[in-house]
Amino acid sequence: MQGLGSSGKCGSCGWIGSSIGRKQLIGITGVGLSLFVLIHMLENMLILVGARPYNEYTHFLTSNPLIYLAEGGLLAIFLLHVIFALAISWTNCKARDSRYAVASNGPKGTSMVQRSLWAQGLLILVFLILHLISFKYGAEYSVDYGPGPIRDMHKLVVEVFHQPAYVVWYVVALIVLGFHLSHGVGSSFQTVGLHHPRYQKCIRALSVSYALIVALGFITEPLYVYFIHRG
């Protein structure tokens, strides 16, 4: 039949169906998600400035009609990343010669961070669901700075981050996100073709630095609210 290769599979599906195609798609969506978390972390830093700028900025974002398009696109990117990452993990698991084989170590071995990427991803997924429940769909408070009442997100954030258990959970989840990014950012460069032995150390350093900045930035918010913020 026309459009079918010798293997009988749809030629147009060959790239996505291949291991390389899936890894490249994971890398591309990973870059998009990495940029999103950096922007979101910077937005969260407004908590250090004050309640009004924090609330006015969140109102500006949520009242923008394009927010629904942005959220839909972000959800699609996230689902593609998760689905294909799990597919790769499942394929790799089935391809092992022995489930009891000892993992290799050393420079060419697979690190614990790499071996646990799927578990990190699942924990981050749980964190994201709870995060949305706590904040996006959390308690509705309002404040009026003049033009009319807007949602008092600052009050909700302070309320949630004065719960010790939630702060601990948040910090742990963001540490896991940091480990995920420390491998994922560099791996994304490699899967989209930006790979050369001469630049590997530089890419690795960039990946780890990026992960540290994002994770520490996110962790700053709950720790500031819990230990420092008064009012």
**Within 14-50, where are the H helices?**
14-17, 19-44
Cβ atoms < 10 Å from Cβ of 211:
23
Whose CA is closest to 121, among 97, 88, 95?
88
pTM: predicted TM-score of the whole model, two decimal places: 0.82
Residue-averaged pLDDT of the chain: 84
Which letter does DSSP use for residue 194 in this model? -
What span, in angstroms and rounded, lies between the C-alpha atoms of 28 and 188? 7
- Residue pLDDT, tens place only, 171-186: 999 999 999 998 888 7
What span, in angstroms and rounded, lies between the C-alpha atoms of 89 and 112? 14
At residue 8, the 3 state secondary structure works out as coil
- Residue pLDDT, tens place only, 16-45: 667 777 788 888 888 899 999 999 999 999
Residue ranges of domains in the chain: 17-90+112-227
pLDDT at 80 over 80: yes
Classify domain 17-90+112-227 at the CATH topology level.
3 helical TM bundles of succinate and fumarate reductases (1.20.1300)
Q: Which residues contact 65 (CB under 8 A, 6 or more apart)?
A: none
- Residue 89 is predicted with a pLDDT of 74
pLDDT at 57 over 80: yes
- Residue pLDDT, tens place only, 160-169: 999 999 999 9
Instruction: List, in sequence order, every beta strand (DSSP E) within 66-200.
Output: 142-144, 149-151
Two tokens at 167?
A: 């702060």
Task: Specify the range with the lowest mean pLDDT, choosing from 15-29, 88-102, 110-124, 125-139.
Answer: 88-102
At residue 48, the 3 state secondary structure works out as helix
